[in-house]
Amino acid sequence: MHILKPTIASLLITASMAQADTTLTTTFSAISLELDGTTYSGAYATSLAAGIDVTENVYATASFAYFTASGGSAAAFDAGVGYMILNDIDYDKGTGAKLGAGITLSGNIVVASSTALSSDIVFDAALSSPYSNLGSVISYSLGAEYVPWGIYAGYQEAVITGTTTSLSGFNVGYRTRF
């Protein structure tokens, strides 16, 4: 489980870095682990992530996740800071987008974006990898939020390159904005 713990943290912080406004998001994920060509299902993760505006373009984020699978469990905490390169999203009008880049305590570089598709729907995407060994683990997440109800659904995957190991899963959750 020791090699998977930083990968799980990377996977879950990637999803939470997509926010630059002050948010609180809780998710439940059903995760599959593929190891040497065999897929193991029945793994689950619950997470709580907070995103905080520090300034208009600087944000901080923190995430806690608990992962369980048959025969083991792991908890992961991560935090990060980032800078919004583009930040013109308007949730009320349903226009604009955000594009940011950040770094986490676990040693990941994260690029994240949010795009308003309408006044009700926001699409999120994020990509991350460890900065000490760029490309050794590649994590990405894609998701959509129904803004009026705060309902969030998405897909996330982490691939450990050079191996046949990957984690992937779907998540559902609730996001509130302050």
Least confident of 29-43, 100-114, 131-145: 29-43
Q: How far apart are CA 10 and CA 7, in angstroms?
A: 5
Position 15 scores a pLDDT of 54
Mean pLDDT of all residues belonging to the chain = 86
**Which residues does residue 72 pair with via DSSP β-bridges, in sequence order?**
69
Kindly report the backbone phi and psi dihedral angles of residue 17, in degrees, each rounded to the nearest multiple of 5, phi listed first: -75, -10
Six token digits for residue 137: 């683990």
Q: Which CATH architecture has domain 4-177?
A: Beta Barrel (2.40)
- For tokens 């984020």, what's the residue? 61
pLDDT band at 1 (very low <50, low <70, confident <90, very high): very low
127 vs 68, residue with greater confidence: 127
pLDDT of 96 > 80? The answer is yes
pLDDT of 123 > 80? The answer is yes
Residue spans of the domains in the chain: they are 4-177
Q: How far apart are CA 48 and CA 44, in angstroms?
A: 14
pLDDT of 20 > 60? The answer is no
pLDDT tens digits for 134-166? 888 899 999 999 999 999 999 999 888 888 788
Six token digits for residue 134: 């760029």
Least confident of 4-8, 106-110, 113-117, 131-135: 4-8
Backbone CA torsion sign across 166, 168, 174, 178: positive
pLDDT of 177 > 50? The answer is yes
Q: Is the pTM above the cut of 0.95?
A: no
Q: How far apart are CA 19 and CA 23, in angstroms?
A: 7
